Amino acid sequence: MIEATRFRDRNLAAVWDKVQGGERLTLEDGLLLFRTRDVITLGKMAHHVQQRMSGDAVYFVLNQKIEHTNVCVLSCRFCDFAARKGEARAYEMTRAEILSMLTPEIQEVHITGGMPPDWPWERYLGIVQAIHDQLPNADIKAFTAVEIDFFHKKFKMSIEEVLRQLKAAGLKTMPGGGAEIFSERVRRQLFNQKIGARGWLDVHRTAHRLGIPSNSTMLYGHIETLEERVTHMMKLRDLQDETGGFLTFIPLAFQPGETGIKPRDQFTSAIDDLKTIAVSRLMLDNIPHVKAYWVMLTEEVASVALNFGADDIDGTVGGEKIAHDAGAVTPMTLAKDQLIRIIRDAGKIPVERDVFYNPLQVHADRIIGKIPYLNSVPFYAMLDTGPFRILPVAPRRMGLLNRTGKIDAGLFSLMDYLTSEPPLDLLGWCIATRDQVKSVMLFSKEGWAGLEGKTIGITDDTATSVKLLNVLLRKKHGVRARFARMHAGVNDCSPYDAILLIGDEALKRNKTGLDGFELVYDLAREWYEWQKLPFVFAVWAAAPHLAVHDKEGLKQAIARSIEASEPDFVASAGLYGRALGLSDAETQEYLEGFNYRLGEREREAIRLFDRLLKETEEVRVERD
């Protein structure tokens, strides 16, 4: 917490009060933040928000940049990368050349490039399909909104059809490039052949509707005004309110190169870079991640930015040309070990991720896992972690990390407790429901009997809830259904007959509904009506290797936190609830519906569920 007396710029105190109260910042607030000279306090404000959202985690990815050609029909003033066909520096990569750049450890392939006048549509689809065939488990993040619009116009297909065909070939997400700055004034002066704000936003809106998440960007440090920067952020924030499809925001520092817009050596200052990161984190309250893109910032500034609101440092970025052709001074490839060192030096947890921010590896020890949902906030809001650091991670992923010894303790899903080898040690606390839960919900087109042979979509988050659903289907209703795993975030729900949602997304949809799915079932209520017992969704547990004194200290810290939270859940979780669209009264009522102590009835319910699981055919989950 930042004490009011610590503000050198007293104007920041009013903005901080808004942030603490969950009130959305305005254009005027954003301008005040940019103009302050109290940079340290600005950074502390942004860091506080970042920690609330992602704990001590800083993410990176093993990625390969593919810039398949620099031949481009556009002539943007700020671009030193593009070439005309026939120029000596022009290049066009073959499919074989592209595939030769890929290695098995790569998790993300990032494809952007020029827009040549003579490539057929099949060549683009072939690149995506060939990469997917060679690296079927890698995430393909391909083609900016400008490129998608180019395909739409050149090949006379709708934006939707372009994206559908790319998705069928293996595309999973879209990069955020091409947004530049959402200012018609700047567009006319610097990139008048490119789509403007409306076109860029419409492409991403369509992608999100089709279940393709994306990144978002802003190019700053050229001729834009501070007001244009803040307005740009607010337009992204508005679209995120509408679709929820942005994964991260990436401020891109302008690289002057030989553009003539600025002298070649006149880069953005470190202060401007850090301010832009911090203001981004404070303004964009609904975009989960902010990236310090070391390629453009330099690794030194990127490291400091990890305490100014950023929680992502991108990745190894092999093959990047665009920024370096414009004069970026960073090394062309930053090795994995170096990224880990930079993150550790910032006092953070290096987390190797996939494109959806699922943790794959954690390069640190003494880690407590945190389920990042409203129902767990009372445990963590006032938790003295002592020698441990907090890693927010969805239930299923926490179990995967536990199996590789990367989590020392945490609020584990019940399934991960039941299946852990060696067994986890219970710490006496849990998340259990007395009746309804409101945040483990099945949205269906059919009644229970009508789900026979139908397909149910489940998100990547769920570990226990899908098992509970299968037990209810098989043992209570005598129904067999198929399960297909979706990624967390935006999805195209049309292929499914029912959707299982958990956590905050289920809580929100329980209020608003899910289009096309008229029937809604609360799985905790279904269980209670059947067995007349609570259902235990998660338990506090510790790995057996953890020292006894550490376990005892953690037990006491959990007890202090929950006992401090219970008298007034709004005090500890009201801000979180308001971010989900809940009133304080709704947050209080929701959290009062849980039992946080692992008593005898909860233990009886665990034993019963374990027995039913063993009597029920194993869930087979297909990949979307």
pLDDT in tens, 496-549: 999 999 999 999 999 899 999 999 999 999 999 999 999 999 999 999 999 999
Tell me what the pLDDT averaged over the chain comes to. 90
In the predicted model, is pLDDT for residue 273 greater than 50?
A: yes
CB 486 within 8 A of CB 462: no
Q: How confident is the model at residue 618 (pLDDT cuts 50, 70, 90)?
A: confident
The reported pLDDT for the residue numbered 591 is 96
Q: If you average pLDDT over residues 80-104, what whole number do you get?
A: 84
Please give the backbone phi and psi of residue 437, each rounded to the nearest 5 degrees, phi first.
Answer: -120, -30
Phi, psi of 180 (to 5 degrees): 50, -115
Across the range 486-497, mean pLDDT stands at 87
Distance between alpha carbon 490 and the CA centroid of its chain, in Å?
Answer: 11
Q: How confident is the model at residue 379 (pLDDT cuts 50, 70, 90)?
A: very high
Look at residue 4 in the predicted model and tell me its pLDDT.
55
Provide the token pair at 260: 């003539």
Of 82, 209, 199, 101, which is closest to residue 152 (Cα–Cα)? 199
Note if the pTM is more than 0.75. yes
Separation of alpha carbons 576 and 52, rounded Å: 9
pLDDT for the residue 319: 43
pLDDT (mean) for 97-115? 92
**Domain assignments of the chain as residue spans, ordered by start:** 25-361, 365-433+535-613, 440-531
Q: Which overall architecture, per CATH, does domain 365-433+535-613 show?
A: 3-Layer(aba) Sandwich (3.40)
Instruction: Say yes or no: do domains 365-433+535-613 and 440-531 share a fold.
Output: yes
Strand order through the sheet with 482-486: 519-522, 440-444, 498-502, 455-459, 482-486, 621-623
Q: What is the pLDDT of residues 124-137, one digit of tens each?
A: 999 999 999 999 99
Pairing of strands 246-253, 214-220: parallel
CA distances (Å), origin 306, targets 62, 273, 336, 347, 411:
19, 12, 17, 9, 26
Share of the chain above pLDDT 90, in %: 74
Is the pLDDT score of 79 beyond 60? no
Confidence at residue 461, expressed as pLDDT on a 0 to 100 scale: 85
Spatial contact of 394 and 371, defined as CB atoms under 8 Å apart: yes
* Least confident span in 12-16, 309-313, 334-338: 334-338
Q: In this predicted model, what pLDDT tens digit does every residue of 194-236 receive, in sequence order?
A: 889 999 999 999 999 999 999 999 999 998 999 999 999 999 9
Selected residue with higher pLDDT from 265 and 153:
153
- 120 pLDDT exceeds 80? yes
At the topology level of CATH, where does 440-531 sit? D-Maltodextrin-Binding Protein; domain 2 (3.40.190)
pLDDT per residue over 20-34, tens digit each? Answer: 988 999 999 999 999
| Cis preceding-peptide flag for 422 (omega within 30 of 0) | yes
Find tokens 């609020």 and name the residue: 411
Residue 89 has a pLDDT of: 78
Longest CA–CA span in the chain (Å) reads 77
Is-contact 574 584, C-beta < 8 A? Answer: yes
Class of domain 25-361: alpha beta
- C-alpha to C-alpha distance for 521 and 526, rounded to whole angstroms: 7
Beta strands in 363-419 (DSSP E): 367-370, 389-392, 409-413
Look at residue 333 in the predicted model and tell me its pLDDT.
Answer: 53
Query: How many CB atoms are located within 10 Å of the residue 287 CB?
Result: 23
The residues that bridge with 502 in the sheet, in sequence order, are 440
Per-residue pLDDT of 320-347, as tens digits, reads: 344 434 344 444 456 788 889 989 989 9
Beta pairing partners, 18 = none
